[in-house]
């Protein structure tokens, strides 16, 4: 299944930061309104079909309350927040999709990270690790995407049960964080073995992939009710890629995987409940 072409939804936007600016630029004429931190949409503003939250973690709960009170579908692209009773509060009232990263390439990387984890599990000498690098102004560390990839990697390697930013114990996954310069976002998942190293890296060249993914998520979410993650959207596109991979060639058009690579809940989406260190998937 492929994403339907974007029809002109009216998009509301919480946030005027870097991601908010990128989403506004991509949305163009479909942007109904955009408000900054501490602001709320004015009562006579254009009605939005879906609202994207690209603000800060502290504002997410307020924006959720606004979405529930107005019956507006909500896409959350902010990380570092936690609402334990999220599903109960949303129920079937609106559609809500949360993601630590809106890039479909990162969603694919999460699936491949689980495969790398399974490969590491075959030999204790294969030591998995993860490194992420973002610009010096990024507040949360590690990033939500790093937590997502760590969970995916550990899902395939049972001997790794939590991540750490320090020197790892045998059961811990080493996670390295760099905050320097102007890097948009770089994530590397690797395996270090005595005679070889295998690495998989994603580097964002701009914020455009995240903005485009956020708008695609809004399109996918509109009309659905309940709580979703980016993985729910990504599985429509990515699971068929793993069909008959040993035979080579592309999957059949419109094919859905008969044995999709199932990731833990939240692995390609929400990861706000992961603690700041020693995180468990």
Active site residues: 134, 138
Asked if the bond preceding 142 is cis, omega within 30° of 0, the reply is yes
Nearest Cα to Cα of residue 192 among 225, 168, 211: 168
Distance CA 130, CA 122 (A): 19
Token pair of 272 as six digits: 């706000």
Distance CA 20, CA 22 (A): 5
Distance CA 164, CA 154 (A): 12
Partners of 76 in beta bridges: 53, 98
Partners of 191 in beta bridges: 128, 198
């Amino acid at each position: 299944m492929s994403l339907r072409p974007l029809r002109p939804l009216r998009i509301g936007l919480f946030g005027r930061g870097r991601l908010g600016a990128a989403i506004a630029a991509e949305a163009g004429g479909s942007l109904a309104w955009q408000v900054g931190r501490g602001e709320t949409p004015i009562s006579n503003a254009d009605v939005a079909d879906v609202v994207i939250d690209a603000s800060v973690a502290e504002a997410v709960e307020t924006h959720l309350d606004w979405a529930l009170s107005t019956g507006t579908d909500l896409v959350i692209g902010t990380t570092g927040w936690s609402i334990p009773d999220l599903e109960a509060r949303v129920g079937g009232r609106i559609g809500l999709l949360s993601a630590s990263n809106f890039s479909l390439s990162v969603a694919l990387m999460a699936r491949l990270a689980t495969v790398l984890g399974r490969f590491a599990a075959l030999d204790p000498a294969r030591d998995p690790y993860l490194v992420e690098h973002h610009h010096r102004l990024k507040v949360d560390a590690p990033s939500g995407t790093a937590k997502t990839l760590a969970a995916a990697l550990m899902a395939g390697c049972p001997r790794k049960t939590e991540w750490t930013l320090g020197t790892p114990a045998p059961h811990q996954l080493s996670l390295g964080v760099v905050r320097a310069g102007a890097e948009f976002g770089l994530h590397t998942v690797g395996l270090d073995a005595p005679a070889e190293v295998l690495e998989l890296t994603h580097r964002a060249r701009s914020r455009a992939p995240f903005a485009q993914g956020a708008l695609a998520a809004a399109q996918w979410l509109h009309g659905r009710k309940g709580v979703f993650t980016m993985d729910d959207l990504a599985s429509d596109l990515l699971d068929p890629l793993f069909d008959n991979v040993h035979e080579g060639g592309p999957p059949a058009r419109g094919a859905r995987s008969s044995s999709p690579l199932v990731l833990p809940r939240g692995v390609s989406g929400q990861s706000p409940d992961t603690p700041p260190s020693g995180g468990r998937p």
